[in-house]
A = this chain, B = another copy of it.
Amino acid sequence: MSRPHELDALIGYHLRRASSVVMADLAERLSGLGLRTTEAAILVVLSAEENITQSEIGRRLSIKRANMAPLIAALIARGLIVRGKPIGRAHPLTLSRKGKTLGASARTHMDEHDADFFGNLPVDQQKQLVGILSRLWRHEADA
């Protein structure tokens, strides 16, 4: 069992450990769908807004263009994402029927996951937490 130590005094340390545990749990739940967390995030973003480009998705999720290429290619190869007619070099992306279904399923898993980890917190604490966390990253989020 892990004992407390020096680093417990650092808030950032708890942030890192918490994120690690929470993300590992989400990854495990999504693995049942054959999706990694990044792939699921892409499907969910596309579920809510179609015909955006892979670069645009990358911008929203802070995934670099170079890393989006193989991600999108794999999702297209699996028949989850479809490319529309190019505008310049950019392709508007949409979800296939299969992609929509899988995206919705991923979203359900995410919601349950989030509720399991944070649902027991009072709503005001939830809001405060989101306020603190989102302020931490929104500043640096111009990737």
Contact = CB atoms under 8 A, between A and B. Distances in A.
A63 to B, nearest CB: 11
| Size band of the interface chain A makes with B | 35 or more
Interface in A7-47: 7-8, 10-12, 14-26, 41, 44-45, 47
B12 A118 contact: yes
B129 A6 contact: no
A126 B11 contact: yes
Given A15-B133, A133-B17, A49 B5 contact: yes
7 contacts: A2-B59, A2-B62, A10-B110, A12-B22, A17-B137, A18-B19, A21-B136
Interface of A: 1-3, 5-8, 10-12, 14-26, 41, 44-45, 47-49, 59-62, 107, 110-111, 113-114, 117-118, 121, 125-126, 128-130, 132-134, 136-143
